[in-house]
Amino acid sequence: MIVMQFRMTTGRYHATPWHHHVNEGVVEWPPSPWRILRALIATWHRKARAEVDEAVFRGLIDKLASELPAYSLPRAVASHTRHYMPPYKGNTTKVFDAFLHVEADRPIEAQWRELILDEHPRRVLGLLVSRLSYVGRAESWTEARLVDHGAEPNVLPDVTGAPIGGDHELVRVLAPVPTPEFERWHASAADELVTRRLADKRRKKPGKEPKLTKKDRDSIDAALPSDVFAALHVETTDLRKQGWSRAPGSRWCDYRRPHGLVSVVPTHQRARPVRRNPSVARFAVASQAPPRLTEAVIVANDIRKILLKRTDGHPVFSARDAAGDVLTGHRHAFILPESNGQHGYITHVTITAAMAFDEDCQRVLHQLDWAWGRRGHDLQLVLVGMGEPGDFAGNAWLDGACPLLSTARTWVSRTPFVPTRHAKRRRNGTPRRDDRDLWIGSPEHDLRRLLAEGGFPEPGSVTQVNDTSLGGRRTRWMQFRTIRPNGAGRRGGNQGYGFRVEFPEPVTGPMALGYGAHFGLGTFVPVGTYDSA
């Protein structure tokens, strides 16, 4: 038994089925066998050709093509974004980018239940699967592996043709044909092309028995892939040029999929009930070039610009009242980027405000579906839900929770804390200290002061830490941007610091302190959430 296990690292799966246009908003579910095998071939070409012999790999593809896999699929919710393409010859085409939100705690499994591989081919397949980085379109970032046993499949090939009950539906996907069937098809297709070519010659020169030249035969050979392996290499543009309506060497296969496995309910309606004046809005983020958490202050600043423009400077986003006076008490919006997963990229943005979002703000937040990105790639934003902090609180970010809103005793820096004051010295140059022997104005002193101003209890201990874990690597605070590209703010320097803070009793987040706290700097998460120290 061969089981390939895929986890969508961003929680999204993008794949347009064969014979569908991207603007139809259809997503292929399950991933077709044709798509999976092409992904393995691409991985071999780009990442393993020097290590894996071509003959071994060809034999492996032939064996995988000989059987239709069964699937164990998690539940998914259909969603989409709409945007205009960059101008090309004066045309800005509007496109629909459809995708599925996939349950984070369940992987996708493709199972070849009757296939048995020897030790070496199985080891080769394990290597290729482990290096596979996406299935579907390039936005479908994937972590894949080969496992010994899979879950019970819930999507099976329809081999009987029996009537479908009310609890299942038929879905059609593309698969390669087995090698013996391909050889029969190849011989038949070659004969048909020869017949067509001879008929064309007869029409052009009636009364003369035509013969095929070497050029004719070479042209026919070029139009037909020699085997299944070659057929899986053919690109869509080449197929269109040659007049194929379907990829040569492929077949349509029906699968029985349970009703309800794919929901079309918008995610913000599914996730949580919306209260009259929610104080939290949480978004999922995707992009072809996603920013790392080190860019948090830039991303948050850009999102605030959009919200200010669309709400005409609403106090919850501008931090100023109708008279233009600055609001006090930090009750306006905190825009807090998060990095959940294995790559260190920004995957979510949580916007929270103690003064809550009125109806106008809610309308704008519901419509917030993009933000400026870097290197010409915009960020796609999808509203996960709106509600109160308790609706999203928890450390289990794999299950969709937001660690920034958790309740815990010990918290650790996730983004650098930038002090708002300078360290104080006496006239003789020695540090000025308070009654706890803390250097007044030092980073720790300023952190404790801001904790008290924020209503947090006096911490039992504060310990400095040097970095955080991003994408499995330790990332130092100097690697983060710590200055907003525009806008004021009290700052005691450009250097960022990190701390581990332990309270005598559990406290509830968000805990964001210091310069740029409303823009993603100075955020804390419970210890252990991301393998934090």
- Summarize pLDDT for 260-292 with one digit per residue, the tens: 788 765 444 444 454 568 999 999 888 878 899
Mean pLDDT of 334-351: 91
pLDDT > 50? residue 453: yes
Distance of CA 99 to the CA centre of its chain: 10
Residue extents of the structural domains in the chain: 2-172+255-262, 179-248, 267-526
CA distance 364 to 311: 7
Task: Give the per-residue pLDDT at 292.
Answer: 93
CA 240 to chain centre: 31
Residue with tokens 């948050």: 300
**Residue 236: pLDDT over 70:** no
Local confidence band at 150 (pLDDT 50, 70, 90 cut-offs):
confident
**Strand-strand pairing, 407-413 and 461-465:** unpaired
Tell how far CA 473 is from the center of its chain. 19
Residue 67 confidence (pLDDT) above 80? yes
- 503, 459 Cβ separation under 8 angstroms: yes
Candidate from 66-75, 218-227, 314-323 with smallest mean pLDDT: 218-227
- Burial of residue 280 (CB within 10 Å: 0-12, 13-18, 19+) is buried
CA distance 426 to 434: 12
C-beta of residue 171 within 8 angstroms of C-beta of residue 68 = no
Rg (alpha carbons) of the chain, rounded to whole number: 29
As a whole number of angstroms, the distance between CA 219 and CA 227 comes to 17
pLDDT at 482: 93
**Range with the poorest average pLDDT among 157-166, 338-347, 411-420:** 157-166
- The residue whose two tokens read 């360290």 is 423
20-50 pLDDT, tens digit per residue, is 666 566 788 899 998 899 999 999 998 888 8
Asked if residue 274 lies in contact with residue 359, where contact means CB atoms within 8 angstroms, the answer is: no
What distance in Å separates the CA atoms of residue 381 and residue 180, rounded to the nearest whole number?
48
Strand order, beta sheet including 524-526: 461-465, 498-508, 407-413, 524-526
**Contacts of 96 by beta carbon, 8 Å cutoff, 6+ apart:** 22, 23, 24, 25, 80, 81, 82
Phi, psi of 59 (to 5 degrees): -65, -35
Residue 21 three-state SS: coil
Return d(Cα 459, Cα 502) in angstroms, integer: 6
Output the pLDDT for position 268: 44
Q: What is the pLDDT of residue 501?
A: 97
HSE-up of 369 (CA within 13 Å, CB side)?
Answer: 12
Whether residue 428 is predicted with pLDDT greater than 50 in this model: the reply is: yes
Lowest mean pLDDT among 8-12, 159-163, 209-213, 348-352: 159-163
244 CB contacts (<8 Å, ≥6 apart)? Answer: none
- Which of 340-349, 422-431, 513-522 has the largest mean confidence? 513-522
Average per-residue pLDDT in the chain? 84
Q: Residue 271 has what pLDDT? A: 46
Assess contact for 139 and 16: CB atoms under 8 A: no
What pLDDT was estimated at residue 307? 95
pLDDT in tens, 77-126: 877 666 665 655 556 666 667 778 786 667 889 999 888 888 898 999 98
Structure confidence at residue 238 (pLDDT):
64
Question: Lowest mean pLDDT: which of 85-94, 145-154, 234-243, 437-446?
Answer: 85-94
Whats the size of the chain, residue-wise? Answer: 533
Give first-to-last CA distance, the chain, whole Å. Answer: 41
Q: Write the pLDDT tens digit of every residue in 171-188.
A: 888 889 898 888 888 888
* Sequence-distant (≥ 6) Cβ neighbours of residue 124 within 8 angstroms: 52, 56, 57, 60
> What is the pLDDT at residue 166?
63
Least Cα distance to 248 among 258, 234, 268, 261 occurs for 234
Q: Is 7 exposed, middle or buried (0-12, 13-18, 19+ CB in 10 A)?
A: buried
- Strand 407-413 relative to strand 498-508, pairing: antiparallel
